[in-house]
Amino acid sequence: MQITRHVTDDIIWVGCNDRRLALFENLFPIPRGVSYNSYLILDEKTVLMDTVDSAASRQFLENVDYALQGRALDYLVVQHMEPDHCGTIVEVMQRYPEAKVVGSVKALQMIGQFYDASAFDAGERMVAVKEGETLCAGAHTLHFAMAPMVHWPEVMVTYDEKDKVLFAADAFGTFGALNGKLFNDEVDFEGEWLADARRYYTNIVGKYGMQVQTLLKKAAALDIRMICPLHGPVWRSDLGWFIGKYDKWSRYEAEDKAVVIIYGSIYGHTENAADALASRLTEKGVQDVKMYDVSQTHVSELIAEIFRCSHIVLACSTYNGGIYPPMADLLEDMKALSVQNKTVALMENGTWAAASGRLISAKLEEMKNMTVLENRISIRSALQNGRETELDAFAQQIAEAM
């Protein structure tokens, strides 16, 4: 059975939900699934905004066919050529032989990289658009704006002048299947969706903060009443709140005055010391303290918390004279995703030669604007009684730094 919803009177959501996929991009756990959003504009000309992953092609094609009500499809706009959004291009173009595909020069080039373009006479049916160019569908005039590296080089976004809708490609997206609730004001977004929105942004788009800032400046010049992303809820209220989140994340500014303690512990002794620190911080009035085991928590969750929090504690065992491997992997991810502007405190452990603190400090020097607090705790095997004053001073410097 077809599943569609009206976004406006003449814009229809024809996307799909995927609850079977375990790992997004074969990397990120998505226990709540994910949506692949596609939108159909019904005007003098019909315009389909992106397609969906091939895994959901049957449902998607039923949705499009139902929404068209026997009409032909005139245009397919490809904003982003990642396979979760372009996976059904060939089927759409074969099913609707009059349709033309519209995209950036790079996007149209990538169609030929992913597919046998001769399967639908692609060369004769492609329309390349550039920054500021438009497509008139009748009452709807679509304005195209290039958004390279948000988060692929071919990406563009589309502004509908009539309904003041921004079709935002992968910007403003989030993990999570929609469960019948299409709009942000139909869900408890801050309570149920924000963590996944943050995890989506920080791990997928987080490296490209400068490019996101460029896109936000373009968006600020438009009268936007609704944002239609390719994943997650459609925004029709409180747009400024969510845009503000993107502004903070892309500036690498912490959302919250908070401490995230991430520990790498082999037999539990480093975890015990981290636990003792968390208690001291709470006693000193630090209200937002979170703890995570680097071996048990998926790195995407850790990256999201590192973006959220103003202060980080890395508590790490020394392993084979180096950094405990899961912690070393986290540091590589932090560097790759351009983590910056953080204050970090270090706690190291080593039975015969504690080296992890020094080595982690060197890794942090490879990142931008990372402040490493001078006072560092070094543990030999286990944090012994009698070091309460030292632990208290370590916690105090973190509290004062906040």
For residue 183, what pLDDT is reported?
98
Is pLDDT of 160 > 90? Answer: yes
- Quick check: 258 and 308 in contact, CB under 8 A? yes
- Quick check: 294 and 263 in contact, CB under 8 A? yes
Name the token pair of 105: 């020069």
**pLDDT (tens digit, 9 = 90+) per residue, 373-384?**
999 999 999 999
CA distance 128 to 146: 12
Is pLDDT of 257 > 90? Answer: yes
Cα-Cα-Cα-Cα torsion 178, 179, 183, 186, nearest 10 degrees, comes to: -140
Q: Sign of torsion, CA 389 390 393 399?
A: negative
Of the candidates 364, 274, 371, the one whose C-alpha atom is nearest the C-alpha of residue 323 is 364
Task: Give this prediction's pTM.
Answer: 0.94
Residues 6 or more apart in contact with residue 335 via CB below 8 angstroms: 363, 366, 367
Residues 6 or more apart in contact with residue 298 via CB below 8 angstroms: 28, 29
Average pLDDT over residues 237-259: 97
CA distance 36 to 351: 50
> Predicted confidence band at 120 (pLDDT cuts at 50, 70, 90)?
confident
**pLDDT (tens digit, 9 = 90+) per residue, 1-10?**
899 999 999 9
Average pLDDT over residues 345-368: 96
CA distance 85 to 156: 13
For residue 246, what pLDDT is reported?
97
Of the candidates 51, 54, 25, 53, the one whose C-alpha atom is nearest the C-alpha of residue 40 is 51
Is pLDDT of 119 > 80? Answer: no
Average pLDDT over residues 306-330: 97
**Residue that wins the pLDDT comparison between 123 and 192:** 192
> Predicted confidence band at 116 (pLDDT cuts at 50, 70, 90)?
confident
CA distance 229 to 227: 6
Burial 340-364 (b: 16+ CB within 10 A, else e): eebbbbbbbbbeeebbbbebbbebb
Mean pLDDT of the chain: 96
Strand-pair partners of 126: 101
Is pLDDT of 123 > 80? Answer: no
**Percent share of the chain, pLDDT over 90:** 96
For residue 13, what pLDDT is reported?
98
User: Greatest CA span in the chain, whole angstroms?
Assistant: 80
Of the candidates 32, 64, 71, the one whose C-alpha atom is nearest the C-alpha of residue 49 is 64
Please count the residues of the chain: 402
Reading phi first (left if > 0) and then psi (alpha if -120 to 50, else beta), residue 176 is in: left
Is pLDDT of 394 > 90? Answer: yes
- Domains of the chain with CATH codes: 5-251 (3.60.15.10), 256-401 (3.40.50.360)
Cα 22–chain centre separation: 17
**pLDDT (tens digit, 9 = 90+) per residue, 57-72?**
999 999 999 999 999 9
CA distance 344 to 335: 14
Strand-pair partners of 368: 340
Is pLDDT of 106 > 90? Answer: yes
Average pLDDT over residues 62-89: 97
**pLDDT (tens digit, 9 = 90+) per residue, 222-243?**
999 999 999 999 999 999 999 9
For residue 124, what pLDDT is reported?
83
Average pLDDT over residues 151-171: 97
Name the token pair of 268: 């539990």
- Quick check: 273 and 379 in contact, CB under 8 A? yes
> Predicted confidence band at 218 (pLDDT cuts at 50, 70, 90)?
very high
Is pLDDT of 75 > 80? Answer: yes
C-alpha pair distances (Å), 232 with each of 37, 168, 177, 190, 301: 8, 12, 7, 13, 18
